[in-house]
Amino acid sequence: MISPVKPKAGTSRRDFLRTVGAAALAGCAPVGKPPLPPGQLLGMAHALGHRLRDGHFPAPSEVRKTGVLIVGGGISGLSAAWQLSKAAVDDFLVLEMGGEAGGNSRAGQSPLVAYPWGAHYLPLPGQEATSVRELLAELGVLQGDPAAPKPTYDERFLCATPQERVYRHGLWDDGLLPQRGVDAAEREQQRRFQARMEELKAARGRDGRRVFAIPMALSSRDPEWRALDRLSFSQWLADHGFTAPTLRWLANYACRDDYGTACEQTSAWAGLHYFACRNGQAANATSDAVLTAPDGNAWLMRGLARHAAGRLLTGALVWRIVAGKSTLAVDVLVGDKTVRFEARQLIWAAPAFVLPRVWPAIPAELRAAALAGDYAPWLTANLHLADFPEERHGAAPAWDNVLYDSPGLGYVVATHQLIRRHLRGTVFTYYRALHEVTPAEGRRLLLETPREAWAEGILAELEGIHPDIRRLTTRLDVFRNGHAMRRPVPGSLWGGARAVLAAFDSPRLTLAHADLSGFSLFEEAQYRGVVAAQRVIRKMRLG
């Protein structure tokens, strides 16, 4: 197993960057190498966070009325707007603190190609993911009956082959589970693990529900299966004899990739859910296919956002919620003034930890639940390349290029889907979870480390695979997300704080966010937004 580095709480910036291979804190390229490419350091809106902490907002100078106010323009908030619009509820407004909507599904655009800043694919949705299938059908990507066991998908959105490869021991290997140089005993463990995951995909609890469903709220309530949440995924693997280095690496990679945590830090239920929840099939693709586009999941976000056209306000920071007689008064900083929105219903689709800061009268149990979880810090970088870099031997270039013995997760290639176009340049989107340090320390490092240090570390890491990548990189932008996703640590998913968040409802305030699921996936965020909108519609009809 590749053990994550575990620095002490007081780890310095220099010590941390040394673990990711940064050669120069000052941002200077090593002697004899080209200078660092230009770029920007993005993300981490800490100034707004500090304003919430410190207060001192101007008094409201304007009052606006709305039927439903949705706070948060990520996938949950946009999904709530989508559901309201489909139900012919048009009196709503979405507030987004940032300069654009999208949350973890945001994207960028270069003169050459669009590229993701976060989530970059959607696995084929199973029949339980009814809202996902409905959206895909609306967008014309799922063709025919959305409830069909094996729908047909628009081939332009099915990931072009080869889909993925892993770099290990100086060579590229097909797929995610390395085979080259693996002995017979280890291959047998791999086979046994894959067989066990197939069994768990079909497993049902004593209540008849699938043990690992997606959305997770549809999973079995059987206490015997839910008890897995009390173990770490690392412990479950050890208890079941899955000790092979490649398997332990795969488990660790999966948890870092989806949850921002190492497998020792991840609930066994969450770890198994990663491998066993996906059961979608297609008439024109294999079951392991994924849907993607050059800009990652931004096409899905735009499909939701068009239902909020003209009803989305960006640069809007909610700083106070006060209950009135028949409405909620929501004070919002817009520019340099406070606008008071009086809403009959409020959907809170922002991260849960912010709610106690803006709602003074929040119930004590909800306050404790909102503050109980922590969030994984995350780093994404986009490398704009003048041409494709030199390749090492092994498997052919793929869409998802995973790094085995490396601090980074790997990179996806923005132009991979454009197989009918012969483009010389491309964009590599590099991902890295900062799981080696505590979340608070990770956020501090994201905030204080200069772009040049991150860029040097990333280029030094990738040069071991692509020797000429520094020379070919014309621009390198870094995006920092201090609260990328709620961490599904052992004991966090079934019962306790997450259950309080998921169950909470009041006459005028409804929660909607992937935090209610305990981890951040497109399907979970969409489900929570849709369910919140459905609750609000029922309340409005009841008067």
Residue extents of the structural domains in the chain:
13-47+107-118+374-486, 57-104+297-373+489-542, 125-157+179-291
- Domain 57-104+297-373+489-542 carries which CATH code? 3.50.50.60
Which DSSP symbol is given to 214? S
CA angle 354, 357, 358 (to 5 degrees): 95
Dihedral sign computed on CA atoms, order 436, 266, 125, 75:
negative
CA 131 and chain centroid, separation: 18
pLDDT band at 86 (very low <50, low <70, confident <90, very high): very high
- Dihedrals φ, ψ of 274, to 5°? -55, -45
Q: How many helical (H) and strand (E) elements, i.e. helices and strands, does the chain have?
A: 17, 21
pLDDT digits (tens, 9 = 90+) for 428-482: 999 999 999 999 999 999 999 999 999 999 999 999 999 999 999 999 999 999 9
467 in Cβ contact with 38 (< 8 Å): no
pLDDT beyond 60 at 11 = no
pLDDT digits (tens, 9 = 90+) for 306-332: 999 999 999 999 999 999 889 999 999
Nearest to 80 by CA among 537, 520, 507: 537
Mean pLDDT in residue range 341-346: 98
pLDDT band at 490 (very low <50, low <70, confident <90, very high): very high
- Domain 13-47+107-118+374-486 carries which CATH code? 3.90.660
Q: Which two tokens stand for residue 264?
A: 């020792």
pLDDT band at 50 (very low <50, low <70, confident <90, very high): confident
pLDDT beyond 60 at 494 = yes
Distance CA 132, CA 134 (A): 5
pLDDT at 22: 44
pLDDT band at 15 (very low <50, low <70, confident <90, very high): low
Distance CA 430, CA 400 (A): 10
Q: Which CATH superfamily is domain 125-157+179-291 in?
A: Guanine Nucleotide Dissociation Inhibitor, domain 1 (1.10.405.10)
pLDDT at 9: 37
Neighbours of 17 (CB within 10 A): 19
pLDDT at 18: 54
pLDDT beyond 60 at 27 = no
pLDDT band at 424 (very low <50, low <70, confident <90, very high): confident
pLDDT at 8: 36
pLDDT digits (tens, 9 = 90+) for 102-128: 999 999 999 999 999 999 999 999 999
pLDDT beyond 90 at 151 = yes
Can you tell me which residue has the tokens 């490092």? Answer: 445
Helix (H) or strand (E) holding 228: none
pLDDT at 28: 53
pLDDT beyond 80 at 21 = no
pLDDT digits (tens, 9 = 90+) for 88-104: 999 999 999 999 999 99
Nearest to 116 by CA among 298, 376, 377: 298
Nearest to 291 by CA among 135, 161, 123, 414: 123
pLDDT digits (tens, 9 = 90+) for 259-299: 999 999 999 999 999 999 999 999 999 999 999 999 999 99
pLDDT at 16: 47
Is pTM beyond 0.85 here?
Answer: yes
Q: Percentage of the chain with pLDDT > 90? A: 88
Strands 328-334, 337-348: pairing kind = antiparallel
pLDDT beyond 50 at 10 = no
Q: What is the mean pLDDT of the chain?
A: 92
Strands 290-291, 400-403: pairing kind = unpaired
Write down how long the chain is.
543
Mean pLDDT in residue range 495-520: 95
Mean pLDDT in residue range 195-220: 98
pLDDT at 508: 96
Three-state DSSP state, 286: coil
